[in-house]
């Protein structure tokens, strides 16, 4: 159960266009966004940041979602794990690949470039951060500095979302909850689990 309820729909008219864009990508409006709307300017600022991170073509959206999923796994945020896996599926990532995100380092479903990005996500999503120069050396074999900055931006946005959603105990929506149980369940995913 959420620690703070999202604002009711009748108080969100100013956010309709912003929420429609998110719904077009995800298939629903995450409960975190109407809760962010309680802080003046936060939903707008977060939407602008998300648009910059996910709206540039430097890193494919599907890879961004897998990076976000691994970073969220490292942080322990079940809400974001379900969201990112569900969105990656909607972007065409095969379910067997998503099920193997827990073992990306040895799964046949991932190439070396994806492994480099996901390894960074795992270490950058951990607390404390455990990234090293070796992670960046491996990334540079596959990505230019602009793409690497884009990958780090994704991890950083999800650092905020992981803290927000675990702290608020944001209620997970039906679509990602069902998908998370079915696909991520084998990897230790639990619906409704939050810290604290």
Which of 190, 171, 185, 157 is closest to 46 using CA atoms?
157
* Total number of domains constituting the chain: 1
In angstroms, the CA 4 to CA 144 distance is 41
Mean pLDDT of all residues in 94-122:
96
Residue 112 within a domain? yes
* Cα 68 off chain centre by: 4
Residue 160 within a domain? yes
Backbone torsions φ then ψ of 39, nearest 5 degrees:
-100, 110
Tens of pLDDT, residues 177-194: 888 787 766 444 455 555
Residue 6 within a domain? no
Residue 49 within a domain? no
Let me know: does 102 contact 50? Beta carbons within 8 Å.
no
pLDDT at 195: 47
Percent of the chain with pLDDT over 90: 76
- Here the tokens at position 158 are 């999800």
Residue 193 within a domain? no
Q: Considering only residues 136 and 21, tell me which one the structure prediction assigns the higher pLDDT.
A: 136
Tens of pLDDT, residues 36-95: 999 999 999 999 999 899 888 899 999 999 999 999 999 999 899 999 999 999 999 999
Residue 109 within a domain? yes
Mean pLDDT (the chain, rounded): 91
Residue 148: give its domain's CATH number.
1.20.1290.10
Residue 15 within a domain? no
Mean pLDDT of all residues in 13-37:
91
What range defines the domain where residue 156 resides?
59-187
């Amino acid at each position: 159960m959420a620690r703070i309820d999202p604002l009711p729909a009748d108080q969100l008219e100013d956010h309709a266009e912003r929420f429609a864009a998110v719904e077009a990508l995800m298939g629903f409006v995450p409960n975190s966004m109407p809760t962010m709307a309680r802080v003046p300017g936060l939903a707008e600022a977060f939407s602008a940041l998300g648009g910059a991170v996910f709206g540039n073509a430097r890193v494919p959206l599907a890879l961004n979602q897998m990076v976000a999923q691994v970073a969220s796994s490292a942080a322990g945020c079940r809400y974001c794990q379900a969201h990112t896996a569900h969105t990656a599926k909607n972007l065409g990532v095969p379910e067997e690949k998503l099920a193997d995100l827990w073992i990306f380092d040895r799964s046949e479903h991932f190439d070396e470039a994806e492994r480099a990005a996901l390894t960074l996500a795992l270490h950058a999503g951990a607390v404390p951060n455990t990234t090293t120069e070796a992670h960046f050396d491996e990334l540079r074999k596959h990505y230019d500095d602009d793409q690497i900055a884009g990958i780090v931006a994704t991890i950083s946005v999800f650092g905020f979302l992981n803290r927000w959603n675990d702290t608020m105990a944001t209620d997970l929506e039906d679509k990602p909850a069902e998908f998370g149980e079915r696909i991520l369940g084998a990897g230790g995913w639990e619906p409704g689990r939050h810290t604290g």
